[in-house]
Amino acid sequence: MEQQSSVKSFGGFQNQYTHQSSACNCEMTFSVYLPPQAEQGNCPALVYLSGLTCNDQNVVTKAGYQAYAAKHGIIVVAPDTSPRGEGVADVEDEYDAGQGAGFYVNSTQEPWAAHFQMYDYIVEELYNLIVSEFPIDPERIGITGHSMGGHGALVLGLRNQDKFKSISAFSPIVAPTQCPWGDKAFGNYLGDDVSLRSQYDAVELIKANGYAKPILIDQGLADNFLDEQLKTQLMAEACEAQGVACEIRMQEGYDHSYFFISSFIADHIKFHAGLL
């Protein structure tokens, strides 16, 4: 692991790192915000998964979370959204496939399987790396994300409750087996195996297993992806049927951008702080 940059922010430090990933078979980049409390001992942590076309820097520079992370003493980890680099499969001129569009799954299909193992990368490799290298309490790690990353946060959180003790999301793709983005990505990465696809679908996971803790979701009503791609209502229906305490806040006038995320990031960090 090599540190690439470090900037002081709200008494802590916003850092960026690279490391050679065995899961993704390439160099991966991630960012970590260390609040001032990290100098005194172990802190809770929040993993933030970004959306399509993003890398680790979008949330770092646009969300404005550092002030709230410093207030609550939470370390924030922001990984990249996919493997990248020469030799890594990609689809030219398509933003929703290939590099920048990993969908947080383990690919079983060629040419993707050699590098696109984002589920194992986040849940195993990056998780173990941050716990060993930073002052993080492994019993107090939460997960959140936006859009494709909101899908990732819900799926990884629901499937790995021993590791992620709190879950929230912004504008998540809640049912990727029922929307064009998910159908395209899962077709590329997972093939036609319906049972495998359902393992990466938050609505199907809720239907099958429920969830015992509260979940927070914020969704903008002016989001142009809401009806076709995000399908928030399906999550509301599944959680209601299973008795899951999922608070879905439909925010009037807000779109899919980081203006929306930055408006409510304080609430999400407070939500995780309360559970962690």
* Enzyme catalytic residues: 147, 223, 256
The residue among 177, 170, 232, 227 whose CA lies nearest residue 201 is: 177
Do the beta carbons of residue 255 and residue 223 sit within 8 Å?
yes
Q: Which two tokens stand for residue 129?
A: 């790396």
Amino acid making up residue 114: A
The residue among 17, 13, 15, 18 whose CA lies nearest residue 39 is: 13
The residue among 213, 210, 268 whose CA lies nearest residue 239 is: 210
Q: Which two tokens stand for residue 255?
A: 């779109």
> Using the 8-state DSSP alphabet, how is residue 256 labeled?
S
C-alpha span between 96 and 101 (Å, rounded): 6
The residue among 219, 231, 243 whose CA lies nearest residue 177 is: 231
Other C-beta atoms closer than 10 Å to the C-beta of 194 total: 10
